[in-house]
Amino acid sequence: MSWLWVGLLLAALPGAGAPANLQVLVDAAPAGSDVVVRGVVRGPVVVRKPLRVVGEPGAVVDGGGEGTVVRIEAPGVYLGRLRIRASGSELNTEDAGVFVGAPGAVLEDLVLEDVLFGLNLKQADGALVRRVRISGKPLPLNRRGDAVRLWYSQRVVLTDVQVEGMRDVLLWFTEGSVLHRLRVRHSRYGVHYMYAHRTPLLDSILEGNAVGAYVMYSTGARLEGNRFLHNRDVPGVGLAFKESDEVQVRANALVGNHVGLYLDATPMGGEGRGRFDGNVVAGNGVGVVLLSNVTGNTFTGNVFEANGETVRTEGGANARNRWWEGGRGNRWDGYVGLDLDGDGVGDVPYRLRRWFESVTETVPSARVLYGSPAVAALERAAQAVPLFPPQVVLEDPYPLIRPEAADRFAHAERSATFAAASAGLAALGAGGLWWAGRRRTWEVGR
């Protein structure tokens, strides 16, 4: 008789018709064997030996609203093809759908629902997590747990993970992990790096959160092929960096956020540098915000389109970043220069000027007005009647006439005028037409 049926018989003894107890099933199985789950079984359960716990179609592990539903405390455990639901609700005990506290776990084809924390991995080196959907409890944001928490877990792979209504995907003291094809919606920080080194974020969609991704105190982060869309809750930032080094940001779309890109003390100094190449920054309230401690970054091949404000510097002027490399700059929707020699690069530099920056140099307390209608009114009045010289926020000596956005970033607009303009973006020659459409909405195909 298989261990499966022995376990089911033992579990059924307490009461006819009651759901099987998964703990009995797991305890009865020898190390290295398969435990097959059928129908609805009771949790919580603790796995203390290497097993393969596999569900048949429709299999459910129900935690009954108490504690963590599945705890894995042995190396090399496989958990797959299960619906895991109804964890406890205590933040202090980090009640979760699945806790992993040992290396080499494989978690795949799981649905976690009505859980406080989703996947809580602590010292779970080499874990593989793929094809997992996580949704939380109907709680206010400050009462939710993290969808995924990696804590002192190295070389973890997360791929094809979908999150709805949780707190963060949090990486804490990890190195060499990979995040691939995540989709995080209606949460706090879609992805939150804290001392997470050399961990790329690839081909992911972070949408409708307070912050799409926040990279803090991390070295060697590479973010490529992601979409940071409509992150407009407070503070409403698509992608943010704080005190991080050697960052590479390539071929991402930052669209429809309150702030597209936010940089604070990045890079931190030394040999660390930041590179921002081939990104689309479009339809945001502010495209890029740079604090005065931001220096040593290179921006090339990016498209800045239809942002309410293209680039803002806070805490004083900042001209210590390069907006070109090797004769290649960026595409600016406010550029009105020509390309008479047809090489795809404007014949005169692009200079972003701000009259309000000049005011804040003289009256620093005026910075409290950033983002207010008063600033926009001052800019328009100063352009009409220039009584004092504007501050040059940035200069790009090689502005691109033809943008170099990645093909995957299809974009559309509700108005026929904008649709025609976006379709002809590569052949655009009259930058003034684009200035008129700065405040139109951008969307990215999903």
Q: Residues 354, 379: contact at Cβ < 8 Å? A: yes
pLDDT at 408 over 70: no
Burial class (CB in 10 A: 0-12, 13-18, 19+), 54: middle
CA–CA separation, 171 and 223 (whole Å): 15
Q: Are strands 350-354 and 391-396 parallel, antiparallel or unpaired?
A: antiparallel
For residue range 32-90, list pLDDT tens digits in order: 999 999 999 999 999 999 999 999 999 999 999 999 999 999 999 999 999 999 999 99
SS3 content of the chain, % helix, strand, coil (to 5): 15, 40, 45
Q: Are strands 211-216 and 237-242 parallel, antiparallel or unpaired?
A: parallel
> What pLDDT score does 128 carry?
98
Please give the residue that has the higher pLDDT: either 424 or 219: 219
Q: Residue 416 belongs to what H/E stretch?
A: helix 416-423
For residue 24, is it left (φ>0), alpha (ψ between -120 and 50) or beta?
Answer: alpha
> What pLDDT score does 95 carry?
98
- Please state, rounded to an integer, the average pLDDT across all residues of the chain: 84
Residue 164 Cα to chain centre, angstroms: 13
> What pLDDT score does 251 carry?
97
> What pLDDT score does 383 carry?
56
Exposure string for 311-330, b = 16+ CB within 10 A, e = fewer: bbbeeebbeebbbbeeebbb
- Residue 309 sits at φ, ψ, to 5 deg, of -135, 130
Q: Residues 117, 89: contact at Cβ < 8 Å? A: no
CA–CA separation, 168 and 145 (whole Å): 8
408: how many CB neighbours lie within 10 A of its CB? 13
For residue range 181-216, list pLDDT tens digits in order: 999 999 999 999 999 999 999 999 999 999 999 999
pLDDT at 17 over 70: no
CA–CA separation, 376 and 236 (whole Å): 20
Q: What is the mean pLDDT of residues 385-409?
A: 72
Q: What is the mean pLDDT of residues 331-358?
A: 85
- Whether the CA torsion 371, 351, 212, 214 is positive or negative: it is negative
> What pLDDT score does 233 carry?
87
CA–CA separation, 40 and 55 (whole Å): 10
For residue range 153-162, list pLDDT tens digits in order: 999 999 999 9
For residue range 110-126, list pLDDT tens digits in order: 999 999 999 999 999 99
Q: Is the peptide bond before 373 cis (omega within 30 degrees of 0)?
A: no
pLDDT at 7 over 50: no
For residue range 265-306, list pLDDT tens digits in order: 999 875 678 999 999 999 999 999 999 899 999 999 999 999
Q: Residues 167, 157: contact at Cβ < 8 Å? A: no
Percent of the residues in the chain that have a pLDDT greater than 70, as a whole number? 76
CA–CA separation, 419 and 400 (whole Å): 21
> What pLDDT score does 291 carry?
92
CA–CA separation, 78 and 420 (whole Å): 52
Beta-carbon contacts of residue 365 (< 8 Å; ≥ 6 apart): none
pLDDT at 316 over 70: no
Q: Is the peptide bond before 44 cis (omega within 30 degrees of 0)?
A: yes
CA–CA separation, 303 and 409 (whole Å): 11
pLDDT at 441 over 80: no
> What pLDDT score does 336 carry?
87
For residue 158, is it left (φ>0), alpha (ψ between -120 and 50) or beta?
Answer: beta
CA–CA separation, 242 and 248 (whole Å): 14
Model confidence at 438, in pLDDT bands (50, 70, 90)?
A: very low
Model confidence at 2, in pLDDT bands (50, 70, 90)?
A: very low
pLDDT at 177 over 80: yes
> What pLDDT score does 370 carry?
56
- Residue 269 sits at φ, ψ, to 5 deg, of 135, -165
Beta-carbon contacts of residue 15 (< 8 Å; ≥ 6 apart): none
pLDDT at 431 over 50: no
Q: Is the peptide bond before 57 cis (omega within 30 degrees of 0)?
A: no
CA–CA separation, 313 and 284 (whole Å): 16
> What pLDDT score does 446 carry?
47
Rg of the chain over Cα atoms, rounded to whole angstroms, equals 26
> What pLDDT score does 393 carry?
83
Model confidence at 96, in pLDDT bands (50, 70, 90)?
A: very high
> What pLDDT score does 377 carry?
60
Q: Residue 3 belongs to what H/E stretch?
A: helix 3-12
Beta-carbon contacts of residue 149 (< 8 Å; ≥ 6 apart): 94, 117, 119, 120, 121, 122, 168, 170, 172
CA torsion angle for 200, 202, 206, 212 (degrees, to 10)? Answer: 30
